[in-house]
């Protein structure tokens, strides 16, 4: 049992850091939202959801995250399938090109869309030159800009999650199916797709929760009438100094991501069974 | 041999890759424009916006702070993370899986919630200095990267070498520093780089932990964009992308970029 003592000694500093600086602050924030004048209460939550503005922000956040995830799957799935089937050397190149944006600052990546969608940006310049429009379009600071920015932010993550699973699908399996007369469509539907589901689940969870909690992109590409949960926390805490509401939104965000992750995981275990 | 992809699929994949890469090319083009406002395509070629970065005092100052926080935060996370990663991969004990989850948990907490909670708890409640809180926040978010990368480096380490050193009479601590650590050196470097990038690029945690004289480069960039729409940020972006490329080369040499598909 000498080892056990050593193990806990080695883990202790890290655990202390996490308990003092992660668990304690989070619990303090969450606890605050249930504290009423007398005992525990859900009043702050019912107050929060009574306001139609808050409901709107909440459902907007979910809607944008869902749209982002669906688009990321539609764009990412075929791309990942393609990457998993090219030669190893070229695959490495594709992976490098997907990792690069992943490691680039989200500020830079969101900003690049300000250059493209802005008043004097690429799209407006192009449309004006072609005489398709007379006045620059307002492409920034709306929901569409946020979705574009989020898809842009998270697509590499979806592709990487899928490639990781797809490159392990045995080519023998596909060849066996082919020799037994399966069509390309059948091979895709009966072999490739089912075996890719774990990657699809991981990718979707990452993209969906990432989109719900994203701050930088909606802050830069969204406007004052496209507030989402993350920007709502910031506004309440730093501009309105409404700490209670900020804490309530923070708690709602955590609960939402946990519930959705659990739901998707449950769904996947059902599909696998 | 893998079967060839269909033409349609190839075109689709290339289109998707254009979508992921063209914006970064455009931002590079915009950085070297000669116009006074941000536009693409730019009117002419000029380096004045690159020069302008170094003239804006707050960029220079916050770049230093970002660098400092990332380096010190990563060091701190390594100091508490390496022993934990070692314990988690070397020994079997009850509650091991749970503790592994605990150490990776910071990555699951939304950054914006964590940042706000730290402001709430450390700065407001316990009156901690802003800079210290910023450092603590970054140390915590860095921890999972350290644990994960070092653990996977330790998985490949042959512990019989360690046993040999111990049986020859070297002490446990000496053995760790002379035998174990040098063998996982490339893992430590990779962990450092990954942690550094994530700390340096962080926005949602840092944004709550700024105050007079304390801010990070990404936060400063975001507030600059709110007021000015000139190519300075584009020029700065190009410099940051250059930094990312260098760090990626180091990751490729140490960890291999395949790490990201795992």
Report domain extents, chain A: 41-272
Dist. CA A204–CA A207, nearest whole Å: 5
Arithmetic mean of pLDDT over chain B: 90
Higher pLDDT, B36 or A114: A114
With contacts defined as CB-CB under 8 Å, which chain A residues touch B10?
A: 82
- Answer whether A3 touches B (CB < 8 Å): yes
Q: How far is CA A259 from the centre of its chain?
A: 15
Domain A41-272 adopts which CATH fold? Answer: MetI-like fold (1.10.3720)
Point out the residues of chain B with pLDDT beneath 50: 1-2
Residue A195's CB: how many other CB atoms inside 10 A? 15
Shortest distance, CA B1 to any CA of chain A (angstroms) = 8
- Name the residue of chain A whose CA is nearest to B36's CA: A120
Instruction: Report which DSSP code applies to B92.
Output: -
- pLDDT for residue B3: 54
Contact B52, B234 (CB under 8 A): no
With contacts defined as CB-CB under 8 Å, which chain B residues touch A217?
A: none
Question: Could you tell me where the DSSP H helices lie in chain B?
Answer: 7-31, 48-55, 57-90, 96-104, 111-118, 130-155, 159-167, 172-175, 181-183, 185-201, 217-227, 232-254
**Candidate from A107, A115, A238 with C-beta closest to B203:** A107
In the stretch 80-139 of chain A, residues with CB closer than 8 A to chain B read: 81-83, 85-87, 92, 94-109, 111-116, 118, 120-122, 125
With contacts defined as CB-CB under 8 Å, which chain B residues touch A15?
A: 84, 99, 102
Q: Do A215 and B38 touch (CB under 8 A)?
A: no
Shortest distance, CA B192 to any CA of chain A (angstroms) = 14
With contacts defined as CB-CB under 8 Å, which chain B residues touch A78?
A: 9, 12-13, 16
Q: Do B9 and A257 touch (CB under 8 A)?
A: no
- Name the residue of chain B whose CA is nearest to A258's CA: B108
What would the two tokens of residue B101 be? 């989850």
**Candidate from B79, B110, B120 with C-beta closest to A253:** B110
pLDDT value at A231 more than 80: yes
Q: Do A78 and B2 touch (CB under 8 A)?
A: no
- Long-range contacts of range A15-18, CB-CB < 8 Å, 24 or more positions apart? A15/B84, A15/B99, A15/B102, A17/B80, A17/B139, A17/B140, A17/B143, A18/B102, A18/B103, A18/B105, A18/B106, A18/B140, A18/B143
Listed residue (B201, B195, B189) closest to B237, CA to CA: B201
Q: Do A233 and B113 touch (CB under 8 A)?
A: yes
ipTM of the complex: 0.92
- pLDDT for residue A273: 60
What would the two tokens of residue B11 be? 């075109």
Residue B64's SS3 state is helix
- Name the residue of chain B whose CA is nearest to A246's CA: B116
Q: Do A253 and B39 touch (CB under 8 A)?
A: no
Cα four-point dihedral sign A73, A75, A76, A82 = positive
> Lowest mean pLDDT: which of A45-49, A78-82, B156-160?
B156-160
Q: Do A104 and B241 touch (CB under 8 A)?
A: yes
Q: How far is CA A162 from the centre of its chain?
A: 15
Instruction: Report which DSSP code applies to B2.
Output: P
- Answer whether A254 touches B (CB < 8 Å): yes
**Candidate from B19, B106, B247 with C-beta closest to A22:** B106
Percent of chain A with pLDDT over 70: 99
DSSP string, B164-214: HHHHTT--HHHHIIIIIHHHTHHHHHHHHHHHHHHHHH--TTGGGS-BTTB
- pLDDT for residue B262: 64
- pLDDT for residue B1: 39
Dist. CA A98–CA A83, nearest whole Å: 11
- pLDDT for residue B158: 87
Q: Do A13 and B80 touch (CB under 8 A)?
A: yes
With contacts defined as CB-CB under 8 Å, which chain A residues touch B208?
A: 234, 237-238
**Candidate from A106, A160, A237 with C-beta closest to B261:** A160
- pLDDT for residue A2: 58
Domains and CATH numbers, chain B: 57-261 (1.10.3720.10)
Q: Do A105 and B37 touch (CB under 8 A)?
A: no
pLDDT digits (tens, 9 = 90+) for A149-200: 999 999 999 999 999 999 888 888 888 888 898 888 888 888 889 899 989 9
**Candidate from A6, A107, A237 with C-beta closest to B218:** A107
């Amino acid at each position: 049992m000498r080892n056990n003592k050593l193990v806990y000694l080695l883990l202790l500093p890290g655990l202390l850091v996490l308990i003092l600086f992660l668990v304690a602050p989070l619990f303090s924030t969450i606890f605050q939202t249930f504290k009423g004048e007398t005992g525990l209460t859900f009043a702050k939550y019912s107050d929060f959801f009574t306001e139609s503005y808050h409901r709107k922000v909440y459902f907007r956040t979910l809607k944008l995250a869902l749209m982002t995830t669906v688009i990321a799957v539609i764009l990412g799935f075929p791309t990942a399938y393609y990457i998993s089937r090219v030669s190893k050397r070229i695959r490495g190149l594709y992976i490098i090109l997907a990792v690069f944006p992943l490691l680039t600052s989200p500020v830079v990546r969101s900003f690049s869309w300000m250059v493209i969608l802005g008043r004097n940006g690429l799209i407006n310049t192009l449309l004006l030159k072609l005489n398709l429009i007379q006045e620059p379009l307002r492409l920034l600071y709306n929901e569409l800009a946020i979705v574009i920015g989020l898809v842009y932010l998270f697509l590499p993550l979806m592709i990487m999650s899928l490639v990781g699973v797809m490159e392990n699908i045995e080519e023998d399996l596909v060849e066996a199916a082919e020799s037994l007369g399966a069509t390309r469509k059948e091979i895709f539907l009966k072999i490739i797709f089912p075996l890719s589901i774990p990657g699809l689940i991981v990718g979707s969870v990452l993209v969906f929760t990432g989109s719900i909690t994203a701050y930088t992109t909606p802050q830069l590409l969204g406007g004052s009438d496209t507030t989402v949960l993350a920007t709502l926390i910031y506004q309440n805490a730093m501009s309105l100094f409404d700490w209670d509401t900020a804490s309530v939104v923070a708690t709602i965000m955590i609960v939402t991501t946990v519930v959705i992750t659990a739901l998707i995981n449950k769904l996947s275990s059902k599909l696998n069974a | 041999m893998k079967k060839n992809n269909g033409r349609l699929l190839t075109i689709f994949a290339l289109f998707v890759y254009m979508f992921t890469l063209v914006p970064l090319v455009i931002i590079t083009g915009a950085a070297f424009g000669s116009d006074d406002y941000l536009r693409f395509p730019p009117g002419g070629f000029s380096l004045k916006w690159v020069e302008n970065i170094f003239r804006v005092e707050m960029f220079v100052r916050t770049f230093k702070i970002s660098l400092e926080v990332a380096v010190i935060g990563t060091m701190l996370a390594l100091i508490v993370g390496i022993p934990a990663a070692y314990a988690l991969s070397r020994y079997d004990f009850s509650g091991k899986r749970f503790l592994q989850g605990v150490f990776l948990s910071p990555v699951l907490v939304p950054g914006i919630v964590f940042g706000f909670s730290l402001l709430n708890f450390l700065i407001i409640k316990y009156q901690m200095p802003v800079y210290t809180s910023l450092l603590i926040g970054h140390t915590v978010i860095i921890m999972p990267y350290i644990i994960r990368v070092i653990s996977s480096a330790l998985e490949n380490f042959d512990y019989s070498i360690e046993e040999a050193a111990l049986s020859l009479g070297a002490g446990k601590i000496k053995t760790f520093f002379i035998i174990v650590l040098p063998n996982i050196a490339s893992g430590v470097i990779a962990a450092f780089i990954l942690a550094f990038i994530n700390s340096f690029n962080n926005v949602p945690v840092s944004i709550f932990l700024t105050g007079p004289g304390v801010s990070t480069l990404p936060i400063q960039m975001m507030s600059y964009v709110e007021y000015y729409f000139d190519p300075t940020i584009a020029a700065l972006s190009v410099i940051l992308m250059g930094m990312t490329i260098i760090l990626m080369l180091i990751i490729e040499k140490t960890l291999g970029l395949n790490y990201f598909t795992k």
